[in-house]
């Protein structure tokens, strides 16, 4: 972070904590949230009486919470309400300058509930317990991970954190697969608002864009209720950002680390801009101002001299320049500050990270079908494929991330509250890639260099309100207006290809359509998301519940533009093809009888899309005799979507619209049977949908650079309709302990799958399969080991395991050349598991944890023309964290992380043969955090 940015962040932090010096150090704070034991809803208007060294009174507000500053001492906190039986939290110890949590539940019938506070726990344990209480009372089958748990681990972003959640696996370090289903069947919200996406190929929010330091908690809802968006089946990922502090807070942290394959080795790079370290291009990669924006650059529109001038205006920057013996470490900065000023609460956080990473000696082998398969003499599984192209890849990437959150809340009174939340994430990958090896089509060895710079940014801002109306039966009206904008800028992707001349033994430039290539891609997507909800609680002698109705509307728009240029070889006069690319494409060689700039942008290289969804729902939450809870209702979604592909230079010509309109009726029911006060048995059924995305409908086509397949959308796609069935048993022994088992089954009608057709070449597109099935079992266990013996009281374990099976039927899809028409769903691992072992010694102020993650083999690419499917083989990773409190009050900590201790092999195979293989090295880091207030 630059000195100016750091000074701005520090000034904001000092402003937020300006009231800290006046904080009474002889007093502490009691906070709490009161929940309905039957429905799990927070209870407003509950009378709170605090008795001890002094007496205080309060009333819970719209979200069931309260906060009172009291002198240090031991207190009893009593809760009363005309509709609920009295509840008390007894023996609550309040320490000067600290926070004591008196969160509890209230029952509408039964005996008085008393909660005895027996001991204090570590902060991360307390937040784990709070998340388990919320899960126990939740409406749906769900899993969660608290911010404290995330920060206690090795994850740097939401994607890494979710790997620890039951039934979740992460693909490509950013996309979430829940219960074996691809990102198509999941959705993501931020602070309960929908998000735009930076991905041009799919409508999914990449979760590596959310820094761990800005996250308060993440929930994964696995069953559906009508107040949620109807377009998910696997899971709805709900990310909540930094919460408001209950006292003045200012904390700073820093960490630095190295990777055994990166530091101390050569780092592939190239000359860039002055702000690359922070992830921003300073204009170095922009199209020169002299190049026309609205006219194709070719001989039909410009003279030879003009083309020469345009070509020479482009920067002469083609070659990688390795940094020898590279030692710059990765580093992460983070600052969080917050305070309350009477009715106003403020919290802000800023994080910055820069992480260089290299992968060397990556094997990549492309195959062709065995001739015996083509003749029908053998089946694909009886004859191994034959190697066609054999490459060795080396790649270095410098990843930079800046994240910020700023939230403000104003409590007008205990009945009305307004909140503003803002979030920004800017993530950049600056990549240099080089590969060489034998290419059968050329009959010789090739060398290819690619320089790529991708900036991704998400901005989310929202304002929301909660309003309690006691005279209307304590009903609550809530509203939210959110706006999210996502951008993806990929300026000046450069690629050059050289072939080995077997006679001279030298590599020479190859004049191919994808060589001497420069591409500029830009995506902008915005989404407006207003919604309103009204909830009316009701109570009887032996029953209680609530009626909830609302509307949720989203207006999404997207604009994608791609521009392609290349230097065509018009003549070889005084051209030495063996020269390095920077010299070969120098100004002297850009001329009419040498290299000439030429526009290769396609007439389908731009598209715009709009998607408007009008959602309305009604649902009933009903509890009978504290034994059964029924939550059911209906959601109606009216979808109007249109995507139009067009020529970027003639937007009104060659327009190819692909409209999609549908009205969906989506019912659901969730039933919870309270077997005992500590055990739940849940049942759920729902109907949801998965709709085709802009990219899947648009006729825009994209060809992967060198050796890839052309991809094009299919405007004839229809939506997928899904029936979901769930059963879960869960047992909460107490504290942060849990035992749970789940079974799920999903039935898909016309699922959308990526397919491959045989045209002039192989064409990747999208089709509706006939049907698919997905079913599995989830097991979860968290427990301290003190039940084995007192000597093990310092140890605890947490584990989860998921078994998933699926099949998809593509046998009725026409004109495709897939080898296996009935197979598991792409990206699905049959087994996914996590195991966490923790040792905590409070008297030593030390905690140590081992994290083990495993997923089994999964299809990464489907086979064609007799070639087997490509499988990513199973991977087990092992991480370690040690944390030491350097002060007794826990305000100064030191952490040591070790990731990928086994240096796991990432291996893809095709027909049992190596398709791709590499290791990522071990990563070690050390960091410190200091809480000033």
Per-residue pLDDT tens digits for 886-914: 988 888 999 999 999 999 999 999 989 99
pLDDT (0 to 100) of residue 48 = 92
Residue 802, both tokens: 């998921």
> Three-class SS of residue 244?
coil
What is the Cα–Cα distance from 214 to 216, expressed in whole angstroms? 7
Any domain includes 247: no
In a domain, 8, yes or no: yes
> Minimum mean pLDDT among 195-204, 453-462, 875-884: which range?
195-204
Q: Does 470 map to a domain?
A: yes
Cβ neighbours, 10 Å, residue 275: 15
Q: How far apart are CA 730 and CA 741, in angstroms?
A: 6
For residue 25, pLDDT beyond 70: no
Token duo for residue 883: 């944390």
**pLDDT value at 15 more than 60:** no
| Lowest-confidence segment of 27-31, 453-457, 465-469 by average pLDDT | 27-31
Task: Report yes or no on 176 lying in a domain.
Answer: no
3-state SS, residue 224 = coil
Nearest to residue 798, comparing CAs of 126, 119, 145, 171?
Answer: 145
User: Is residue 853 predicted with pLDDT exceeding 90?
Assistant: yes
**Does residue 672 carry a pLDDT above 50?**
yes
Q: What are phi and psi of 677, to 5 degrees?
A: -60, -15
> Long-range contacts made by residues 92-96, C-beta under 8 angstroms, separation at least 24?
92/30, 92/117, 93/117, 93/120, 94/28, 94/29, 94/30, 94/52, 94/70, 95/28, 96/25, 96/26, 96/27, 96/28, 96/72
pLDDT at 10 over 70: no
Question: In terms of Cα–Cα distance, which of 749, 756, 722, 727 is closest to 740?
Answer: 727
pLDDT given for residue 625 in this prediction: 79
Measured CA to CA, the distance from residue 338 to residue 255 in angstroms comes to 22
Give the mean pLDDT of 269-292. 93
67, 86, 120 - which closes a domain: 120
pLDDT tens digits along 713-765: 888 899 999 999 999 999 999 878 899 999 999 999 999 888 877 665 677 88
Reported as type and span, the H/E element at residue 301 is none
Question: Does pLDDT of 439 surpass 50?
Answer: yes
Domain of 80, CATH number, reads 2.60.40.1120
Which of these ranges, 29-33, 272-276, 500-504, has the smallest mean pLDDT? Answer: 29-33
Please give the pLDDT value at position 836: 94
CA–CA gap between residue 136 and residue 729 (Å, rounded): 11
Look at residues 728, 773, 768, 721 and name the one whose alpha carbon lies nearest to residue 746.
773
CA-nearest of 576, 610, 580 to 594 is 576
Residue-level pLDDT at 554: 96
43-47, 295-299, 699-703: range with highest mean pLDDT = 295-299
> Is the pLDDT reported for residue 581 higher than 70?
yes
Q: In which band, very low, low, confident or very high, does the pLDDT at 16 lie, cut at 50, 70 and 90?
A: very low
The residue that leads in pLDDT, 324 or 658, is: 324
Neighbour-count burial of 912, counting CB atoms closer than 10 A to its CB (0-12 exposed, 13-18 middle, 19+ buried) = exposed
pLDDT value at residue 760: 56
Instruction: Return the pLDDT at 759.
Output: 62
DSSP letter, residue 204: -
pLDDT of res. 22: 42
What is the predicted pLDDT for the residue at 256?
A: 97
Buried-exposed string 180-219: b where 16+ CB fall within 10 A, e elsewhere: bbbbbbbbbbbbbbbbbbbbbebbbbbbbbbbbbbbbbbb
pLDDT at residue 82 in the model:
81
Backbone phi, psi, residue 695, to 5°: -65, -30
6: left (phi over 0), alpha (psi -120 to 50) or beta: alpha
Query: In 3D, which of 880, 790, 870, 877 has the Cα closest to residue 823?
Result: 870
pLDDT at residue 758, as a whole number: 66
Q: How confident is the model at residue 694 (pLDDT cuts 50, 70, 90)?
A: confident
Other CB atoms within a 10 A radius of the CB of residue 609 amount to 23
- Mean pLDDT value of segment 290-309: 93
Helix (H) or strand (E) holding 586: none
**Is the pLDDT at 190 greater than 60, yes or no?**
yes
pLDDT(661) > 50: yes
Nearest 10 degrees: Cα torsion 118, 122, 128, 132: 0
Is a pLDDT exceeding 50 seen at residue 772? yes
The total domain count for the chain is 2
Please state, in angstroms and rounded to a whole number, the distance separating the CA atoms of residues 828 and 198: 24
Which whole-number Å values give the CA distances from 699 to 544, 646, 713, 750, 765, in the listed order? 53, 9, 5, 21, 10
The answer, yes or no, to whether residue 168 has pLDDT greater than 80, is yes
Q: What is the spatial distance between Cα 883 and Cα 897, in angstroms, rounded to a whole number?
A: 9
Q: Is residue 217 part of a domain?
A: no
Average pLDDT (861-880) is 90
Please say which residue of 120, 151, 179 terminates a domain: 120
Residue-level pLDDT at 781: 94
Q: What is the chain's mean pLDDT, rounded? A: 87
Query: What confidence score (pLDDT) does residue 863 get?
Result: 84
Instruction: Take residue 312 and report the two structure tokens written for it.
Output: 């020479």
Burial class (CB in 10 A: 0-12, 13-18, 19+), 4: exposed
Q: Lowest-confidence range among 462-471, 654-663, 832-841?
A: 654-663
Residues 368 and 915: their CA atoms lie apart, in Å, by: 12
Phi and psi dihedrals of 148, rounded to 5?
-65, -40
What's the rounded Cα separation, in Å, for the pair 562 and 922? Answer: 38
For the chain, report the end-to-end CA distance as a whole number of angstroms.
Answer: 23
Q: Radius of gyration (Cα) for the chain, nearest Å?
A: 30
**Contacts of residue 374, Cβ cutoff 8 Å, sequence gap at least 6:** 865, 866
- Is 693:710 a contact under the CB 8 Å cutoff? no
Does residue 179 form part of some domain?
no
Count the Cβ atoms, other than its own, within 10 Å of residue 506. 12
**CA nearest neighbour of 849 among 895, 882, 877:** 882
Taking a C-beta distance cutoff of 8 angstroms, is the pair 609, 695 a contact? Answer: no
pLDDT band at 29 (very low <50, low <70, confident <90, very high): confident
Is-contact 749 688, C-beta < 8 A? no
Please tell me the predicted confidence (pLDDT) of residue 703. Answer: 55
Helix (H) or strand (E) holding 793: none
Using one digit for the tens of pLDDT, what is the confidence trace for 216-263?
A: 889 999 999 999 999 988 899 999 988 777 778 899 999 999 999 999
CATH of the domain at 362: 2.40.170.20
Its domain, for residue 112, covers 1-120
Question: DSSP class of residue 716?
Answer: T
Quick one: what percent of the chain has pLDDT higher than 70? 93
Determine the Cα–Cα distance for residues 384 and 19; give it in Å rounded to an integer. 72
Q: Parallel, antiparallel, or unpaired: how do β-strands 27-36 and 104-106 relate?
A: parallel
How many CA atoms within 13 Å lie on the side-chain side of 737? 14
Domain edge (last residue) among 120, 152, 181: 120
Please say whether the beta carbons of 764 and 711 come within 8 A. Answer: yes
Q: Which one has a higher pLDDT value, 65 or 364?
A: 364
State the DSSP H helix or E strand holding residue 374, giving kind and residue range, or none if neither: helix 371-374
Output the six-digit token pair for 706.
Answer: 């060198």
d(CA 806, CA 639): 29
pLDDT tier, 658 (very low <50, low <70, confident <90, very high otherwise) = confident
Residue 688 and residue 666 in contact, taking contact as beta carbons nearer than 8 Å:
yes
What is the predicted pLDDT for the residue at 651? 84
Cα of 804 vs its chain's centroid, Å:
22
Judged by average pLDDT, the poorest of 253-262, 466-475, 919-928 is: 466-475
In a domain, 126, yes or no: no
Beta strands 235-241 and 323-326, pairing class: unpaired
Look at residue 584 in the predicted model and tell me its pLDDT.
93
- What's the pTM value of the predicted model, to 2 decimals? 0.87
- pLDDT band of 334, cuts 50, 70, 90: very high
Answer whether residue 395 shows pLDDT above 60.
yes
Q: How far apart are alpha carbons 817 and 707 in whole angstroms?
A: 18
The rounded distance, in Å, linking the Cα atoms of 242 and 56 is 29
Q: Give φ, ψ of 650 to 5 degrees.
A: -140, 75
| pLDDT score for 709 | 63
Is there a contact between 409 and 454 (Cβ–Cβ < 8 Å)?
Answer: no
pLDDT of residue 763: 77
Quote the strand ranges of 414-471, DSSP E. Answer: 416-439, 444-469
| Segment 484-513, tens digit of pLDDT | 999 999 999 999 999 999 999 999 999 887
Per-residue pLDDT, 593: 92
Identify which of 818, 819, 811, 823 has the alpha carbon closest to the alpha carbon of residue 773: 823
């Amino acid at each position: 972070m630059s000195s100016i940015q750091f000074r701005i962040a520090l000034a904001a932090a000092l402003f937020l904590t300006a009231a800290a010096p006046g904080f009474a150090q002889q007093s502490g704070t009691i906070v709490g949230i009161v929940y309905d034991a039957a429905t799990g809803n927070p209870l407003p208007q509950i009378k709170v009486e605090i008795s001890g060294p002094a007496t205080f009174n309060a009333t819970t507000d719209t979200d069931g919470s309260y906060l009172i500053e009291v002198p240090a001492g031991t207190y009893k906190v009593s809760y009363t309400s005309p509709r609920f039986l009295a509840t008390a939290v007894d023996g609550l110890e309040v320490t000067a300058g600290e926070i004591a949590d008196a969160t509890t539940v209230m029952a509408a019938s039964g005996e008085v509930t008393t909660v005895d506070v027996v001991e204090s726990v570590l902060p991360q344990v307390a937040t784990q317990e709070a998340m388990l209480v919320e899960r126990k009372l939740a409406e749906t089958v769900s899993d969660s991970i608290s911010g404290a748990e995330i920060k206690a681990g090795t994850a740097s972003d939401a994607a890494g954190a979710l790997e620890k959640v039951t039934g979740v696996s992460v693909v490509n370090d950013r996309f979430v697969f829940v219960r074996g289903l691809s990102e198509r069947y999941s959705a993501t919200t931020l602070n309960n608002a929908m998000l735009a996406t930076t991905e041009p190929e799919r409508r999914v929010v990449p979760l590596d864009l959310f820094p761990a330091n800005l996250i308060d908690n993440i929930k994964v809802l696995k069953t559906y209720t009508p107040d949620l968006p109807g377009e998910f089946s696997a899971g709805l990922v709900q990310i909540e950002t930094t919460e408001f502090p209950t006292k003045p807070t200012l904390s700073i942290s820093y960490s630095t680390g190295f990777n055994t394959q990166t530091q101390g080795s050569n780092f592939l790079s190239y000359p860039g801009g002055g702000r690359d370290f922070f992830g921003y291009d300073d204009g170095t990669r922009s199209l020169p101002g002299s190049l026309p924006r609205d006219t194709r650059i070719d001989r039909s529109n410009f003279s030879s001299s003009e083309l020469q001038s345009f070509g020479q205006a482009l920067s002469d920057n083609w070659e990688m320049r390795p940094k020898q013996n590279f030692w710059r470490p990765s580093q992460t900065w983070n600052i969080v500050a917050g305070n309350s000023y009477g009715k106003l609460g403020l919290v802000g956080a800023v994080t910055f990270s820069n992480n260089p990473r290299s992968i060397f000696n990556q094997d990549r082998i492309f195959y062709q079908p065995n001739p015996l398969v083509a003749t029908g003499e053998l089946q694909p599984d009886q004859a191994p494929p034959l190697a066609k192209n054999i490459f060795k890849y080396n790649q270095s990437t410098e990843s930079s991330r800046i994240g910020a959150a700023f939230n403000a809340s104003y409590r007008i009174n205990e009945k009305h509250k307004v909140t503003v939340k803002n979030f920004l994430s800017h993530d950049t990958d600056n990549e240099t890639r080089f590969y060489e090896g034998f290419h059968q089509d050329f009959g010789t060895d090739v060398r290819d260099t690619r320089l790529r710079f991708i900036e991704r940014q998400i901005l989310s801002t929202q304002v929301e309100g909660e309003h309690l109306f006691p005279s209307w039966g304590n009903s609550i009206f809530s509203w939210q207006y959110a706006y999210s904008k996502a951008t993806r800028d990929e300026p000046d992707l450069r690629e050059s290809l050289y072939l080995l001349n077997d006679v001279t033994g030298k590599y020479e430039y190859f004049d191919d359509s994808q060589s001497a290539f420069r591409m500029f891609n830009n995506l902008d997507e915005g989404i407006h998301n207003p919604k309103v909800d009204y909830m009316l609680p009701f109570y009887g002698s032996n029953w209680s519940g609530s009626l909830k109705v609302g509307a949720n509307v989203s207006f999404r728009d997207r604009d994608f533009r791609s521009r392609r240029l290349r230097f065509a070889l018009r003549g070889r006069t005084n051209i030495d093809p063996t020269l390095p690319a920077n010299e070969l494409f120098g100004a002297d060689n850009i001329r009419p009888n040498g290299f000439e700039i030429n526009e290769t942008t396609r007439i389908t290289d731009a598209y715009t899309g709009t998607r408007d969804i009008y959602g309305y729902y009604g649902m009933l939450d009903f509890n009978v005799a504290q034994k059964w809870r029924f939550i059911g209702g209906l959601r109606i979604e009216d979808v109007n979507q249109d995507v139009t592909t067009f020529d970027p230079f003639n937007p009104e010509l060659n327009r190819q619209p692909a409209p999609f309109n549908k009205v969906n009726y989506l019912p659901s029911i969730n039933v919870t049977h309270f077997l005992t006060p500590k055990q739940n048995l849940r049942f759920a059924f729902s109907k949801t949908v998965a709709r085709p995305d802009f990219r899947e409908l648009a006729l825009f086509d994209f060809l992967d650079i060198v050796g890839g397949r052309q991809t094009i959308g299919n405007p004839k796609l229809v939506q997928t309709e899904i029936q979901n069935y769930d059963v879960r048993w869960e047992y909460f022994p107490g504290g942060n302990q849990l035992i749970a088992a789940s079974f799920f089954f999903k039935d898909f009608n016309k699922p959308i799958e990526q397919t491959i057709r045989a045209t002039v070449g192989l064409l990747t597109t999208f089709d509706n399969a006939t049907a698919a099935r997905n079913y599995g079992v989830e097991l979860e266990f968290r427990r301290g080991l003190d039940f084995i013996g007192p000597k093990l009281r310092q140890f605890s374990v947490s584990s989860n395991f998921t078994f998933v099976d699926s099949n998809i039927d593509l046998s009725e899809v026409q004109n495709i050349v897939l080898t296996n028409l009935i197979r598991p769903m792409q990206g699905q691992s049959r087994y996914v598991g996590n195991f966490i072992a923790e040792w905590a010694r409070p008297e030593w102020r030390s905690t140590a944890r081992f994290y083990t993650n495993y997923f089994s083999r999964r299809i990464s690419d489907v086979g064609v023309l007799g070639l087997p499917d490509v499988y990513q083989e199973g991977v087990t990773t092992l991480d370690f964290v040690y944390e030491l409190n350097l002060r007794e009050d826990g305000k100064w900590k030191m952490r040591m992380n070790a990731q990928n201790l086994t240096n796991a092999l990432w291996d893809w195979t095709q027909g049992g043969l190596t398709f791709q293989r590499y290791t990522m090295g071990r990563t070690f880091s050390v960091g410190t955090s200091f809480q000033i207030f």
